[in-house]
Amino acid sequence: MTNAAIQISSVNKRFGRTHAVRDLDLVVPTGSVCGFLGPNGAGKSTTIRMIMSIIYPDDGQIEVLGSSALANKDKIGYLPEERGVYRKMKVGSFLEYIGTLKGVEKSTLRTRIADWLERIELPHVAKQRCEELSKGMQQKVQFLAAIIHDPDLVILDEPFSGLDPVNAQLLNTLIREMHESGKTIIFSTHVLHQAEQICDRFFLINHGVKLLDATLDEIHTTFDPRTIVVEPVNGAAHFDQIPGVRSVRSSESDPRLELEIADDADPHAIMRSVMDGGPVKSIARRQLSMDEVFIRLVREGGGEEAADQAREDLSHV
pLDDT confidence of 192, banded at 50, 70, 90? confident
Averaged pLDDT for residues 24-45: 91
Condensed to tens digits (0 to 9), the pLDDT of residues 45-62 reads 999 999 999 999 999 999
Burial class (CB within 10 angstroms; exposed 0-12, middle 13-18, buried 19+) of 117: buried
The CA distances from residue 248 to 112, 118, 240, 274, in Å, are 57, 52, 6, 12
Condensed to tens digits (0 to 9), the pLDDT of residues 77-114 reads 999 987 777 889 999 999 999 999 999 998 999 999 99
Helix 165-180 to helix 135-147 angle, to the nearest 10 degrees? 10
pLDDT confidence of 287, banded at 50, 70, 90? confident
DSSP result, 72-112: TGGGEEEE-SS----TTSBHHHHHHHHHHHTT--HHHHHHH
- Does position 141 have pLDDT exceeding 90, yes or no? yes
